[in-house]
Structure 1
Amino acid sequence: MKTLLLLRHAKSSWSDPGRADHDRELNRRGEKAAPFMGRFLREQALIPDLVWCSTAARTVQTLGLLGRDFATHADVIYSEDLYMAGESVLLESLHHTHEDATSVMFIGHNPGIEMFAQALFGAGDAEARDAMARKYPTCALAHFKFDVENWTDITFGSGTLIGFTKVKDLQAIKVGS
């Protein structure tokens, strides 16, 4: 059994129009959102064995703000190929994951992360899939399980969607507590 977590980077800043897209950093909202998601991942025991992260400033910053667990417990592969990658490139990267990892996280960009999540769906939480199809906001997370032994056995349509989590919903729960 393999677990895949697909995280879109947190909200980035557009304050410097001259800055290259790859170099855009998170804005204040993004800097607050990523730790919320990190706490959720820890509470749900979803600390990955391996993280694939785009080299864009906003994805690297998102990873750093998830918390120390992600730096100490997970290996990280920074890949320029993930910057604005489509679903085929993401699947190919997943196929290159070492088999010792049973849980993997991708931190990337839309529309690629959203398209990848939609393409992987084969079964699972239909309500979560509908929410994901409506909008895959920044710092949102899709959680998939695959009944396979090897990452190379994963194909489009073979995933079971366990859940789709938006930071906005996590923040609403905290406020309501």
Structure 2
Amino acid sequence: MYRRTRRAVVTSLLVSSVVCGGAVVLAPAAGAAVPAASCTVTPGPNDTYVTISGEGFTGPRKLNDGESTVDLAIGPDGTFLVKRFQKNVDYTVLAVNEDQNFIFVNCKKVGTAATPKPENPQNTAPAQPGSRRDIAQGRAAGNQAGTAAAAKSCTTKPVADKSGQQHSDAYWQAWTQAANRSFNRACHTN
């Protein structure tokens, strides 16, 4: 739905510029030294908003999110910076005048290592002994242990180290089954 709206906006801009007699300029003329324009969308902390930044633009410009279009404040150096709460949409920077370079530029989504997604505390907290989550954690740990043991040698099966943490019998049973299954699969044994 968003792509259709954006295509309709871009198509109407292109058609109107041709009907009005103007030439559509998608790239700079040969010999001109105009830098390429770019736009990026970066998630904010806790994934509550996105920051949209761009460079290499000439004003005036508009930002389109597939449903609405707003004016952008382009600085004298050709850059802009905007924060928006619509996170799961495709953003496009549109030219306002038909003689501008780069009629439209699709913004590229990028991640950031500075703001890692917070872990779900429900998944990191210890599970109740014997609960489904406790058994699932045992299976996951056993699967990793079996794969790691097989990578070292297919002659030595994985052995649980029960000295470090207190877990229920159900956890250790799930761990053993998953470790053996993972080890056998990796070593191609029955």
TM-score interval, smaller chain: under 0.3
Q: Give the structure with the larger helix fraction.
A: 1
**Larger relative contact order (Cα-Cα within 8 Å, sequence gap ≥ 6):** 1
